[in-house]
Amino acid sequence: MTTRGAIGAVAVLLVAGCAESAQADEGFTAADATRIANTRPLPNGWTWPHDPEPPSQSASTESADDDPLLAELQRQMADVVGIAEAGHKWRDDDKLGNLVAQVFGSGVDAHKALAALNGFSRGWGAKSGDITRDEEVDGLGDEAWRLWVGGNGTQVTYHWRQDNLLLEVHVHCWGVCPSDVDAATRAWVDAIDEAARPSS
């Protein structure tokens, strides 16, 4: 369960290291990130707490000096302009669901952040268990990626981009899980993607 703490620290890193006064030229805004991050997990074979956990005061005690994965992520994100991020975490005795919505200065910045975050998550997945899938996903945003990790329960991570918005959903089920954790996770992902569409 410590793996998610390390990966969850990334959201803070991606925006905290960038110019907070920057604004996107067009596209998604900080208000959009806040709105989208309130999309609760769907039941789909399991029960989630109604309310998310309060935001953590400190996302991670790790530093780039102690963690080569984090150091590489910081290097790749050095010239990316972050605008805002919002997120929520739902957890009970069996599982964790984490949602982060991040707004960047442009679609190009969000694309760079997506690639960097995929690499970071892939590294943490290899450290925490066995990667069973690492693949691009069709039919989700402008570009999307999915990681499955086994060996420490079941972990499914989706990263996808719509214009200058980058979204991450991570579900880690270590207790009583539905028969298809990915299908249940994808239903939540699709609901978030719908909430993020400009027409919604």
What 8-state DSSP symbol labels residue 56? Answer: P
Burial class (CB in 10 A: 0-12, 13-18, 19+), 60: middle
Which pLDDT score, from 0 to 100, does residue 56 have? 58
* Residue 170, beta-bridge partner list: 98, 157
Which pLDDT score, from 0 to 100, does residue 70 have? 83
Burial class (CB in 10 A: 0-12, 13-18, 19+), 179: exposed
Give me 43's structure tokens. 């039941």
d(CA 111, CA 28): 14
d(CA 127, CA 129): 6
Give me 178's structure tokens. 């539905």
d(CA 109, CA 26): 13
Which pLDDT score, from 0 to 100, does residue 15 have? 46
Which pLDDT score, from 0 to 100, does residue 18 have? 46
- Per-residue tens of pLDDT for the chain, all 200 residues: 333 433 444 444 444 444 444 555 569 999 999 999 999 999 888 899 999 997 654 444 455 677 787 887 888 788 889 999 999 999 999 999 999 999 999 999 999 999 999 999 999 888 888 899 999 999 999 999 999 999 889 999 999 999 999 999 999 999 988 889 999 999 999 999 999 987 54
Contacts 24+ apart (CB under 8 A), 62-71: 62/6, 62/9, 67/6, 69/120, 69/123, 69/124, 69/127, 70/6, 70/9, 70/13, 70/120
